Structure 1
Amino acid sequence: MAEPAFSGQTPEQDAALTNSGSTQAVPGPGLDKRPDPDDVDGLVAGDPLDDSDQNLRLEVSQLRRAMRTRPAIDQAKGVLMAAYSLTPDEAWEVLVTVSQHTNTKLHVVAEGITASTQEGVVDACLRGAIQAALRELGKQ
């Protein structure tokens, strides 16, 4: 039984290389360079990766992003809990509401709240959005 050709050569060329005793590797198309695992934007239809590989790479990228943004979100929840006597779930709801109403990514809202603890002043727009979220939550 013949082995499959992975070198990018025809089966006859592979057989000639094998029979000649050559041990030199012959890189094939697409085998000499793998895509960057974090570059999900580079994955397009027609890539040699199948859908399950693309889905896994996308999930890994999203998990890495979540791991980078999670500390700021947790800190902002703590700030909201302390400042407004909220439970963790209520603080999360305020963050989500502010994010949705201001069309701002959640981690950006969280970073703004956390930064306000260092500056001593909350941005007027952010303060207004937090107040509106608290009213919706029934906390003011």
Structure 2
Amino acid sequence: MHRTAMLPRSWWDLRVEASVEDLAGQDVAALRAEIDQLRRALAGRPVIDQACGMVMVLAPCRREPARNLLVDMERQCNTGLPDVAAAVVAAWEGEPLPRMMQRTLRHALRRLYAEDRGCDSAPADEPSGRGRP
């Protein structure tokens, strides 16, 4: 990739060419970083889709609420979405789910059930967080 900069002759002729070279190098580095990030995202996609399907079966719901449930677990457990999804899939296959994820999943499912029933209140063992006693 080659870029040409049109600047008056009195402007730093040699330095302009060097900075253009640096910009091209920075663009290549940024593109490589983006490609790496996209590859990592695609690598985790199948396990996330599988975990979404499991949640959809566990709590009869559509894909969006199932994914939101996994994202909530991700935030509350302070871990990545592929890690949460892998733990859910492993639990489905018989491995114990880490305690923090068990509790988070239980609360998320209760919220999902309450929303599905149209309830406005939180489960009995969960604070409402809406300023109600």
TM-score category (smaller protein): 0.5 to 0.7
Gaps (5+ residues) in structure 2? 1-21, 117-122, 124-133
Give the whole-Å Cα distance in 1 for the aligned partners of 2:79 and 2:111. Answer: 18
Name 1:78's counterpart in structure 2. Answer: 53
1:62 aligns with 2:52: no
Name 2:74's counterpart in structure 1. Answer: 99
1:52 aligns with 2:33: no
Higher helix fraction (1 or 2): 2
Gaps (5+ residues) in structure 1? 1-46
* Identity within the alignment, %: 32
What is the Cα deviation at residue 83 of structure 1? Answer: 0.6
For residues 97-124 of structure 1, the C-alpha deviation after alignment (integer angstroms, 9 at most, x for no partner) is: 0000110111100000000111165443
Displaced runs of 4+ in structure 1, greater than 6 A?
none
**Is the 1:94–1:133 Cα contact (8 Å) retained in structure 2?**
yes
Superposed CA RMSD in Å reads 2.2
Name 1:26's counterpart in structure 2. Answer: none
Name 2:13's counterpart in structure 1. Answer: none
Give the AA of the match of 2:83.
V
* Structure-2 change in CA distance of 1:103 and 1:78 (3 Å): same
For residues 51-108 of structure 1, the C-alpha deviation after alignment (integer angstroms, 9 at most, x for no partner) is: 2212211110011101111111001001100011121000110011000011011110
> Between Structure 1 and Structure 2, whose CA radius of gyration is higher?
1
TM-score by length of 1: 0.59
- The size of the alignment, in residue pairs, is 94
